[in-house]
Chains A and B, each alone.
Chain A
Amino acid sequence: MTAVPTPGGIPAAPAPGEPMVARPARPRWRETLGLLVRDRTAATAGLVLLIIIVVAIFDETFASQGPNEQDIPGRLQPPSWSHPFGTDDLGRDILSRVILGASVSLKVGFLSVGLALVVGTLIGLFAGFYGRWVDDALMRIMDVLFAFPAVLLAIAILAIRGPGTSNTIIAIAVVYVPIFARVTRASVLGVREEVYVRASRSIGASDFRLLTRHVLPNAAPPIIVQTSISLAFAVLAEAALSFLGLGTQPPNPSWGLMLAEGNEFINRAWWLAFFPGMAIVVTVLCFNLLGDGLRDVLDPRQRTLMAGGGR
């Protein structure tokens, strides 16, 4: 892990306005992590997300009360020491339900977006790179999916497959596949024409190599941004579907469902909707901030600026 000495000799002289920065020769992932940590906003977002995820994984440990333990006399209590987030209309502890809801909401968010990301990116990658009939065939299918209103499509899928968490994940994924396909395709169309792709082809690189080493990494930034936006929307979509009774089934908590349930008490007991709502807002915000930070850190040009600029 020693620093590379600034090489002497003329060929290594810096370009005008582009001072060379001797960077430590650390592995890339460590360097990336190091830079991410130096980006305060992204680091904070990452930390908060990490806490949320840990809480979601060990929900049973953190929840002070069973999520479905009812206490009718103590219903609709405002936040207090014993119930920091208050209680709902059935006297259930909202803090515990938010904690347990985290695992449901995050699971739906990560899995549905992850599924859509993989499938959509692959479709977009092939469509954009090969063009012609591959593009036509794949993108027409995407257009058909895209033509349906998102919620209608999800409802249709859930109506066919029946409600439940895993079907909710599939339904949301299907809605997001065309979005990822389109974003990826648009980005790939630009990268495909880059001279460095042609250069790599000229030395005999296979299509697989071109796609994995050159096209995908350079097409990634908008996909990363789309991922962070989609994670946010997936959490909201799960809420909407649960609200319609098609997603998470009561009495199990999810943030969306709680938000929906709290809606009717909004004038009398704001805390019912406020805390799950805040959980969604904070998570979504963190996803977006982390996504932006990641995009910057993964760009070598930004990297030099960040490493050189100190701070």
Chain B
Amino acid sequence: MSDILVSARGLEVHFPLRGGKGVLRAVDGVDLDIYRGETLGLVGESGCGKSTLGNALLRLVPPTAGTVTFDGTDLTALGRRAMREMRRRAGMVFQDPFASLDPRRTVAQTVSEPLEVHGLRSGRRERAARVGELLELVGLDPAVAGRYPHEFSGGQRQRVGIARALAGEPDFLVCDEAIASLDVSVQAQVLNLLRRLQRQLGLTLLFISHDLSAIRHISDRIAVMYLGRIVEIGPASAVGSTPQMPYTQALLSAVPVPHPELERTRQRIVLRGDVPSPAAVPSGCRFRTRCPAAFEPCPDVDPALQPVGTAPDHVAACHLHGVIGTPVDGRTAEDVSAAPVD
């Protein structure tokens, strides 16, 4: 588990707002290591920047600051051409299977595109054979290769999308809300497929979703994102059952489960108000405006990730576990932590 495939350091993606009125901090200082062969679940509410982070890790959106290292290579330093070649090793599966396939190209043309782009199979016949293999791998009949996307259901299209992402034999697969637009029973089919492929091909998987149940089901580790920052990360069992950051706790408590008895008895942490705009991130801890446990140091110190709970590698950015982090406006960490906090 110690072999790191993808690593981000100080990653920032800021978008200038129209009219030059400040910036939108979609990703705002993310340090993240993704280990070879693991499934990392990235969860958060809409607008938290999880999708942008997934895209930035593949340099599909240019980072404003920070670095992304892929298997030892600094992606942010690569030229356009070298970057394009690098893309063979990382695939992406998108949310909407109706939008992510070119309506004017057949399944075969779509799936074989990576083969053509990277010159992986020479000759029409060999490419067709490989397309057949890939379709079989994702549970589609190779005979459907000549059809167009509109002839398929959502789940089948998503399988085509997965086949395309796998065509270049990547090491790393980013699934960006890949099951969000599918029906419940189809979600299960795709989740099972992804798990099987991950095992079978030894893939490293970044599974981005707002669906905590799915995330908990598929992930080895879970990272929770809030307003452009990772606020808690750790083993799926630890984050899923004993979350240490109030935001994660609220998120978990809000997920409805299909058991009426449990639903009736459990205590829901209802958060106040809405997520602040990523164009106006609160000072200090960015969750403090909605946090039920906010206290003195929260507006003054931007909390750093620190070890929490009992599981190894479980970290969270929260002052409840000790005031550690970058002080706001020039005060030193010592100043703040020296102040009595209890």
Contact = CB atoms under 8 A, between A and B. Distances in A.
Interface of A: 4-5, 7-9, 11-16, 18, 20-21, 23, 25, 194-196, 198-206, 209, 213-214, 217-218, 298-301, 303-304
Contacts of B151: 14-15, 18, 20-21, 304
Given A198-B60, A204-B87, A16 B94 contact: no
B113 A205 contact: yes
A12 B144 contact: yes
Given A203-B167, A206-B84, A196 B99 contact: yes
B103 A301 contact: yes
B164 A195 contact: no
B152 A198 contact: no
A284 B95 CA distance: 45
B100 A12 contact: no
Q: Most B CB atoms within 10 A — which of A9, A195, A202, A217?
A: A202
Q: Most B CB atoms within 10 A — which of A15, A23, A196?
A: A196
Contact of B146 (A4, A195, A213): A4
A196 B148 CA distance: 14
Given A21-B151, A203-B113, A301-B150, 9 more contacts: A15-B156, A20-B147, A195-B94, A196-B103, A203-B168, A204-B85, A213-B113, A218-B104, A304-B150
B292 interface: no
Q: Which 10 A-B pairs have the closest CB atoms?
A: A204-B87, A15-B153, A7-B143, A300-B148, A195-B99, A7-B141, A204-B84, A196-B102, A195-B100, A202-B92
B96 interface: yes
A18 B150 CA distance: 8
B190 interface: no
Contacts of B156: 11-12, 15
B143 A12 contact: yes
B203 interface: no
Given A7-B144, A11-B140, A12-B141, A202 B60 contact: yes
A4 B141 contact: no
Interface in B127-163: 139-141, 143-144, 146-148, 150-154, 156, 159, 161
24 contacts: A4-B143, A7-B143, A8-B141, A11-B139, A11-B159, A13-B153, A18-B152, A20-B147, A23-B147, A25-B146, A194-B102, A195-B94, A198-B94, A198-B100, A199-B101, A199-B164, A202-B92, A203-B88, A213-B102, A213-B113, A217-B104, A218-B102, A218-B104, A298-B104
B58 interface: yes
Q: Most A CB atoms within 10 A — which of B140, B154, B167?
A: B140
Contact of B96 (A21, A195, A209, A218): A195
B150 A300 contact: yes
Nearest to A20: B151
Interface string B51-90: 0000000101000000000000000000000001111101
Contacts, number: 119
Given A4-B146, A20-B151, A21-B151, A203 B104 contact: no
A203 B150 CA distance: 22
B105 interface: yes
B139 A203 contact: no
A13 B94 CA distance: 23
B146 to A, nearest CB: 6
Could you say which interface size class chain B belongs to? 35 or more
A11 B104 contact: no
Q: Most B CB atoms within 10 A — which of A12, A299, A304?
A: A12
A20 B149 CA distance: 11
A16 B102 CA distance: 21
Contacts of B147: 20, 23
A299 B104 contact: yes
B141 A9 contact: yes
Nearest to A305: B150
B102 A203 contact: no
Contacts of A299: 103-104
Contacts of B143: 4-5, 7, 12
A218 B208 CA distance: 29
A195 B253 CA distance: 33
Nearest to A198: B60
Contacts of A194: 99, 102
A3 B185 CA distance: 33
A12 B151 CA distance: 10
Contacts of B84: 204-206
A198 B85 CA distance: 16
B146 A204 contact: no
B225 interface: no
Contacts of B161: 199
Nearest to A204: B87
B258 to A, nearest CB: 24
A217 B110 CA distance: 14
A206 B156 CA distance: 27
A146 B153 CA distance: 45
Nearest to B145: A4
B268 interface: no
Nearest to B167: A203
B117 A205 contact: yes
Nearest to B142: A7
Contacts of A21: 151
Contact of B103 (A15, A206, A218): A218
A197 to B, nearest CB: 8
A132 to B, nearest CB: 13
A204 B114 contact: yes
Nearest to A303: B148
Q: Most A CB atoms within 10 A — which of B91, B117, B168?
A: B117
A205 B117 CA distance: 6
B104 A300 contact: yes
Contacts of B154: 15
A189 B85 CA distance: 27
Nearest to B83: A204
Contacts of B227: none
